[in-house]
Amino acid sequence: STPAPVTVIGLGPMGAAMVEAFLERGHEVTVWNRTPARAEPLVARGARLAESIEAALGTNELVILSLTDYDAMDALLKPVAGALAGRTVVNLSSDTPERTREGARWVTAAGAEFLAGGVTTPPSGIGAPERTYTFYSGPRDAFDRHRDTLGVLTRPDYRGEDPGLAALMYQIGMTMFWTSMLSYWQAIALADAHGLKAADVLSHARETFASLDMFTPFYAERIDAGNHEGDVDRLAMGTASVEHVLHTMKDAGVDTTLPQAVVDLFRRGIAEGGAADSFSGLVELMKAGK
């Protein structure tokens, strides 16, 4: 079938990569951006720059947004809400699940269908659906209608009708990404205090991150079964270990915000009586949100 025409609004690094992927696959692409200069390289490659945001909305049924957040969508689309009727708006900007639901509500009330997306790859992975994926949520029929077109960007992973679900999955990933990468910066700071470059510890860092792949399925099964037995690891042992980490950081004179937060969580687990349980018991403390 002929590739469907598509409008892309928002030409940051992500939006621009999306436009390029669509053009490469033969889609007609209409673009619009608050700062028009950003459209120039894309127009040179075959995209059409709409003369106004209303014109961008009016050209195609499928409208993809790639903006900083949902406030940016509101700022752009609320003044032209009358032009939304009959469109399918796919917002690939990230935000909280609540903020996503709120955006979905008013766009739907304006007469459009709304799909939320949570893109889990940087711009380099856009146009490579064989190795990258995006979470979608919202009306199933709208998703099915545009699945093939969205599949040009990344592999679509539909999570359900509640528009907040894609944002939830996105935030679950970000929770792990930001803290894991900060743990890496912490390790590099410690290495640097001892005259080692990032390159000197790179293979050790990669092996350490790769080893997490063995722990996640092991603990997932036990956590879902409510099993925090201390047969493989005990929180008392873990606490001694994270205190060694903290003291190593202090001795090195580097920032201790992150290791201190880790020690605090472990100590709270001990105070709650979990010393003989696995450190997976800390997940109960986190669930309780106290």
Residues that bind ligand NDP (CB under 6 A): 10-15, 33-35, 38, 66-69, 72, 75-76, 93-94, 119, 122-123
CB of 35 to ligand NDP, least distance (A): 3
| Closest residue by beta carbon to ligand NDP | 12
Residue among 158 and 170 whose Cβ is closer to ligand NDP: 170
Phi-psi region of 138 (alpha: psi -120 to 50; beta: other; left: phi over 0): left
DSSP H helices, the chain, are 13-24, 40-44, 53-59, 70-77, 97-109, 140-150, 164-193, 198-224, 235-252, 257-271, 282-288
Nearest to 239 by CA among 280, 259, 267, 261: 267
Task: Specify the residue, 93 or 278, whose C-beta has the smaller distance to ligand NDP.
Answer: 93
Alpha-carbon gap, residue 43 to 66, rounded angstroms: 17
CB of 80 vs ligand NDP, minimal distance in Å = 12
In whole angstroms, how close is the CB of 160 to ligand NDP at the nearest point? 20
How far apart are CB 176 and ligand NDP at their closest, in Å? 14
Name the residue nearer to ligand NDP (CB basis): 76 or 83.
Answer: 76
Measured distance CA(21)–CA(153) in Å, rounded? 6
Nearer to ligand NDP, 116 or 246 (CB): 116
Please, what is the minimum distance in Å from the beta carbon of residue 158 to ligand NDP?
Answer: 18
The residue among 69 and 272 lying less far from ligand NDP, judged by its C-beta, is 69
H or E element, residue 30: strand 29-32
